[in-house]
């Protein structure tokens, strides 16, 4: 079975949220007989493989010829998997991706028990995996004639507009009422934590200054110029500006002193060193 279009993203980049929004819209637009939930969504929008309960065997509407067959893929680009497909590509900043992945695998699934710093350096789960993913995809997307790029920042800021962009690329004629209903349903699931997606920039409140700088250094060293160009072209934050870093770190230092006027910690010392002022 072959999809009409692939929706591609690295894990923890908002793909589950986007999948639900698109599936909700399609189910309403095409009057599919299904109670759509995060568990049944694969019946409308499966994964891009032929095995398992989430792959193409889960797709339940083969006889609905007007319904586009879309599939989600989190794999790095390969000729065998992706050649010839229209691609809708979703990207999120690496800081938030790593933070989201760490808490997902230590709290939701409990599959990792190490420290957050060690997780960030983990070749298969952490930042190196994201870098490899983007380095492989970027040259293909820059030359792809039938692709659309969307940032998580755009999805988070205006999910209705993001969904409309996706539907237009999929050759659907977006119905504003159905788009609104899909977004409202998605927001309700996010509020109930049935779909776990954080706000853009959550990493500022999670990572210590030295963790952010370590991530920056790794990105500067290992992320290709093609990937940097691609990500910056859609507003994905790869290298927070020094002014932004200073403003954030000073604010955190003042907040820490307000809550703990006597205690001092390694984190607050690192913050003062990072921003270069007395905070």
Residue 101 lies in a domain: no
Predicted local confidence at residue 266, as pLDDT? 44
Domain boundary among 159, 174, 200: 200
Residue 150 lies in a domain: yes
d(CA 106, CA 234): 30
Judgement on whether residues 188 and 223 belong to the same structural domain of the protein? no
Judgement on whether residues 244 and 180 belong to the same structural domain of the protein? no
Encoded tokens for 161: 């507009």
Domain boundary among 200, 220, 242: 200
Judgement on whether residues 209 and 266 belong to the same structural domain of the protein? yes
pLDDT in tens, 172-201: 999 999 999 999 999 999 888 887 777 888
Q: 3-state class of 30 per DSSP?
A: coil
pLDDT of 157 > 80? The answer is yes
User: Which residue in 31, 66, 61 sits closest to 44, CA to CA?
Assistant: 61
Judgement on whether residues 192 and 212 belong to the same structural domain of the protein? no
Residue 222 lies in a domain: yes
Judgement on whether residues 166 and 264 belong to the same structural domain of the protein? no
d(CA 27, CA 32): 5
Judgement on whether residues 16 and 75 belong to the same structural domain of the protein? yes
Residue 100 lies in a domain: no
pLDDT of 101 > 50? The answer is yes
Does residue 10 contact residue 91 with C-beta atoms inside 8 Å?
A: yes
What Å distances lie between residue 128 and 63, 221, 275, CA to CA? 42, 11, 27
Judgement on whether residues 194 and 169 belong to the same structural domain of the protein? yes
Judgement on whether residues 192 and 257 belong to the same structural domain of the protein? no
pLDDT of 268 > 70? The answer is no
d(CA 108, CA 123): 21
Does residue 21 contact residue 159 with C-beta atoms inside 8 Å?
A: yes
Predicted local confidence at residue 258, as pLDDT? 58
Judgement on whether residues 238 and 196 belong to the same structural domain of the protein? no
d(CA 195, CA 16): 7
Residue 217 lies in a domain: yes
Rg (CA), the chain: 20
pLDDT of 269 > 90? The answer is no
pLDDT in tens, 226-250: 999 999 999 998 887 554 555 555 5
Domain boundary among 173, 200, 227: 200
Please give the order of strands across the beta sheet that includes 87-91. 70-73, 5-9, 87-91, 147-151
Judgement on whether residues 82 and 190 belong to the same structural domain of the protein? yes
Residue 118 lies in a domain: no
What Å distances lie between residue 28 and 25, 185, 198, CA to CA? 5, 12, 26
pLDDT of 253 > 80? The answer is no
Residue 57 lies in a domain: yes
**pTM, two decimal places:** 0.85
Encoded tokens for 28: 């309403």
Judgement on whether residues 161 and 215 belong to the same structural domain of the protein? no
The domain total for the chain is 2
Predicted local confidence at residue 267, as pLDDT? 43
Judgement on whether residues 271 and 158 belong to the same structural domain of the protein? no
Predicted local confidence at residue 256, as pLDDT? 53
User: Which residue in 127, 139, 132 sits closest to 225, CA to CA?
Assistant: 139
Domain that holds residue 21: 5-92+138-200
Binned at pLDDT 50, 70 and 90, residue 168 comes out as: very high
Residue 214 lies in a domain: yes
d(CA 92, CA 9): 9
Indicate which CATH number applies to the domain containing 194: 3.40.50.300
| DSSP notation for 66-108 | TS--EEEE-SPP-HHHHTT--EEEEE--HHHHHHHHHHIIIII
């Amino acid at each position: 079975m072959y999809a009409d279009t692939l929706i591609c993203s690295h894990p923890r980049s908002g793909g589950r949220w986007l999948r639900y929004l698109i599936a909700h819209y399609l189910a309403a637009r095409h009057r599919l007989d299904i109670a759509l939930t995060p568990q049944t969504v694969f019946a409308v929008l499966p994964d891009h493989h032929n095995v398992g309960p989430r792959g193409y065997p889960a797709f339940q509407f083969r006889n609905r010829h007007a319904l586009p067959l879309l599939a989600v893929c989190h794999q790095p680009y390969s000729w065998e998997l992706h050649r010839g497909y229209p691609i809708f590509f979703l990207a999120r900043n690496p800081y938030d991706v790593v933070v989201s992945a760490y808490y997902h695998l230590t709290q939701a699934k409990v599959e990792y028990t190490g420290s957050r710093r060690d997780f960030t350096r983990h070749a298969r789960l952490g930042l190196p995996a994201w870098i490899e993913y983007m380095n492989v995809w970027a040259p293909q997307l820059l030359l792809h004639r039938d692709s659309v790029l969307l940032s998580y920042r755009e999805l988070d800021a205006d999910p209705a507009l993001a969904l409309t962009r996706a539907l237009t690329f999929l050759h659907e004629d977006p119905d504003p009422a159905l788009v609104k209903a899909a977004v409202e349903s998605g927001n309700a699931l996010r509020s109930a934590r049935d779909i776990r997606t954080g706000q853009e920039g959550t990493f500022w409140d999670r990572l210590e200054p030295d963790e952010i700088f370590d991530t920056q250094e790794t990105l500067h060293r290992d992320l290709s110029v093609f990937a940097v160009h691609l990500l910056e072209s859609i507003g994905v934050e790869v290298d927070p500006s020094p002014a932004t870093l200073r403003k954030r770190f000073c604010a955190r230092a003042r907040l820490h002193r307000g809550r703990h006027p006597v205690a001092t910690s390694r984190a607050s010392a690192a913050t003062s060193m990072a921003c270069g002022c007395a905070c």
